[in-house]
Structure 1
Amino acid sequence: MNVRVGARRGAPVGDKPGPAAELRSGAHFADLAWLAWRQHRVVITTTVLVVAAVVVAALALATQANDLAARCDQNGCPPDFVDQRKALVTHARRLLLYGLPVLSGIVAVFWGAPLVSREYEQRTHLLVWLQDVSPRRWLVSKVASLGALVVLLYAVYGVATSSLVRGLKAIRETAVGGGDAIELVLQPFSTTFEAAPSLQVAYALFGFALGVAAGAVARRTLVAVAITLVGFAAVRYVIAEYPRVHFLPPLRRTRLLDAPVDTPPGGFSANVIMGGGHLDAAGNEIPTPAACFDDTGAIASECLRQHGVVSAFYDYQPVAREGTFQLIELGIYLVLTAVLAVVAWRRLRSATAF
């Protein structure tokens, strides 16, 4: 009689493995992907519908913006241009400022956080992981199937938001109207920066991985949701507020006292001004003397010269670097996603020891 080498303990000795071994080896990726759909079809369907609605709205606003800009020519814009532009920018601002962070947060909280924690809470891991499939294979199959859907969904969403941003830039170039907050929407390294399809995918994958890792560690859905929500919001806020504009050293422009201000390419509004000050003859930064400010807040040039000031400067991040900065931020979020995936993987390595 032939004996199977490496047969699992408890399996019958002979030519064929026992029923449990057959069941463990018989779960294919397609079966596990179908299981993921069956378990999460409600939240998946809801998310798809929400994202689809926002995509349609973004594309509609983008089309309206392009049509509105096309109505302006060398003779000017139509009389109702300003009112239509103001209404369009108001809707676009709401969609971009609230839609961009919220939609990727949906994946983090409602897809990622319950993925592992719900199995622990409902005790279904005892059936699935100990009989049908190993914890790590279960994790890989679910993350791969749901992650592929996340990539597709948020790539489409990113394309729609990028189209809207291009439409807003088109109507801004008409230089007609004002007071409609379009410059706030199109502020460099901010809303327009995050509308890129690659970053929208990266934000969603990071949130998904954060939720999965939180669920694997906490093993309680509400705790995992709380950790994911706070962690996702904190990381997104911190990176957007500080490191983003410091990925590369800023450029500096200097001028002699009383010389005209050297405007950066595109103007001040198209770039991020990091700060400014005064320099001595050796090019060293020196604090602006308080005695040189008059009652109106203006600075007297002669007073500055008496205190050793020779020139003025300002530092700025040029908008031309936006693409490079997007690649840097993309790399940061991909690294964070990989780290979180490793945390979840290592946590589930010993999942059968209950």
Structure 2
Amino acid sequence: MIWLTWRQFRTQTLLAAALLAAAAVYLLITGTQLRHSYNADLLSCHAPNAQYTCMGLLNGLQTQYNGPLNLIELLVMGTPALVGIFWGAPLIAGELERGTHYMAWNQSVTRGRWLAVKLCAIGLASIVTAGLVSLLMTWWASPLDTMSGNRFGTQAFNARNIAPLGYAAFAFVLGVALGLLIRRTLPAMAATLAVFIAVQFLVTVAVRPNVMPSTTTTVPINQTTMSQAARFDRSPQDTGPVAIDLPTPAGAWNLGETPALNSAGRPIQTSEVLTCWSQLLSKGPVVVKGGPPAGFGSLGACLAPLNLHVNISYLPANRYWPLQWIETALYTVLAALLAAFCFRRVRRVS
């Protein structure tokens, strides 16, 4: 049975191996170049008074590799979906569509054993493929991840470390289950893609931010905190709210911020900050990224007597690995439930 599985699956295996080899060569070459540039830029940071030069170099490095980073992340995130579409969906649907299941399931090998060998062998290949792609991606992007400090972003989280292994296991068994239900290959492939994307969206948006308790902190608005602000938005209407993006602890996942609040916890109105805002604009253009850290500092100093603050909800950086394990376990459990359904359903196929 194992030999037969290899014979039927060897074309896909060899194609996947060739694509993995090509990806590994590209990522190893460009990853080495990225590390060389990153280390060279870090050396310039040790020179006296090189703070702003260092920031400019590192920002330039991020900009240079931002295109390849996004493309590779999307390819890694797409690997589990491709596994489900091309390896999972045709596994049983193809047999049923061609009618070869009559011969395959009426030999000395029982349906249960046939399915067990297929799920274990091809499922393991799916997990190994996703794991190797994720390993290469994690290694390649580590300098950029160190600079950005954002490991909780959707693309960064879904394309790194162990999470893609759970995605691949789930996508493969999902394809098998839908193929068993639909009994036609192309519709099963389309349904696999649609359901997998829906589950990924649901888990990313609704489950991941709420699976672990968040931390809420109150950040006062003053010269120190405003010098690190990334954004200051006032409403066009005088009665509208004021939104400020203040920094969270290093490496944390910002789940949300309130508008600027007064000491009573009430959102302030735009009219209350217009005087300070006009004073800031009178001193020239505001520079936040790539420039002096003053940014909105003078605006913060002007607003400090108003005793304003922002409440920030976030997950600390040390929640990253627990989230990776929890999400991987969740998808693994879903895959196990779908596999149990397949074993139950395959006995009834005629």
State the TM bucket, normalised to the shorter chain. 0.7 to 0.9
Output the amino acid matched with 1:276. Answer: T
Partner of 2:282: none
Gaps (5+ residues) in structure 2?
Answer: 226-245, 278-299
CA distance in structure 1 between the partners assigned to 2:187 and 2:304 by the alignment: 63
CA distance in structure 1 between the partners assigned to 2:271 and 2:211 by the alignment: 35
Structure whose CA Rg is larger: 1
CA distance in structure 2 between the partners assigned to 1:138 and 1:51 by the alignment: 28
Tell me whether 1:254 sits opposite 2:218 in the alignment.
yes
> For residues 143-292 of structure 1, what are the structure 2 equivalents within 5 Å?
143-170=119-146, 172=147, 183=148, 186=150, 188-255=152-219, 261=225, 263-266=247-250, 271-277=253-259, 278=261, 287-288=266-267
Deviations 1:64-87 (A, max 9, x none): 221112213123689998766543
CA spacing shift, 1:204–1:325, aligned 2, 3 Å: same
1:328 to 326, 329, 334: 326
1:71 to 10, 22, 40: 40
Deviations 1:260-288 (A, max 9, x none): 64853327xx532422254876xxxx552
Q: Alignment length, in residue pairs?
A: 298
Query: Which deviates more from structure 2 when the two are superposed, residues 205-214 or residues 153-162?
Result: 153-162
CA spacing shift, 1:287–1:222, aligned 2, 3 Å: farther
CA distance in structure 2 between the partners assigned to 1:40 and 1:215 by the alignment: 17
In the TM superposition, residue 326 of structure 1 has moved relative to its aligned partner by: 0.8
Deviations 1:40-83 (A, max 9, x none): 22222222222332233223332222111221312368999876
The question of whether the paired residues in 1 share the 8 Å contact of 2:80 and 2:164 is answered with yes
2:344 to 337, 343, 346: 346
The question of whether the paired residues in 2 share the 8 Å contact of 1:165 and 1:186 is answered with no
CA spacing shift, 1:37–1:318, aligned 2, 3 Å: same
CA spacing shift, 1:344–1:264, aligned 2, 3 Å: same
Query: Which deviates more from structure 2 when the two are superposed, residues 48-57 or residues 323-332?
Result: 48-57
Give identity over the alignment, percent.
26
CA spacing shift, 1:257–1:157, aligned 2, 3 Å: closer
Output the amino acid matched with 1:160. Answer: L
In the TM superposition, residue 99 of structure 1 has moved relative to its aligned partner by: 0.9
> Given the two structures, how large is their TM-score scaled by the length of structure 2?
0.74
SS in 2 for 1:130: coil
The question of whether the paired residues in 1 share the 8 Å contact of 2:257 and 2:313 is answered with yes
CA distance in structure 2 between the partners assigned to 1:187 and 1:297 by the alignment: 35
Gaps (5+ residues) in structure 1?
Answer: 1-31, 173-182
Tell me whether 1:89 sits opposite 2:62 in the alignment.
no
In the TM superposition, residue 165 of structure 1 has moved relative to its aligned partner by: 2.2
The question of whether the paired residues in 2 share the 8 Å contact of 1:117 and 1:221 is answered with yes
Partner of 1:28: none
Output the amino acid matched with 1:90. Answer: G
CA distance in structure 2 between the partners assigned to 1:147 and 1:237 by the alignment: 23
Deviations 1:291-347 (A, max 9, x none): 865668979979988xxxx86422122233111111111121111111111111111
In the TM superposition, residue 253 of structure 1 has moved relative to its aligned partner by: 1.1
In the TM superposition, residue 256 of structure 1 has moved relative to its aligned partner by: 5.6
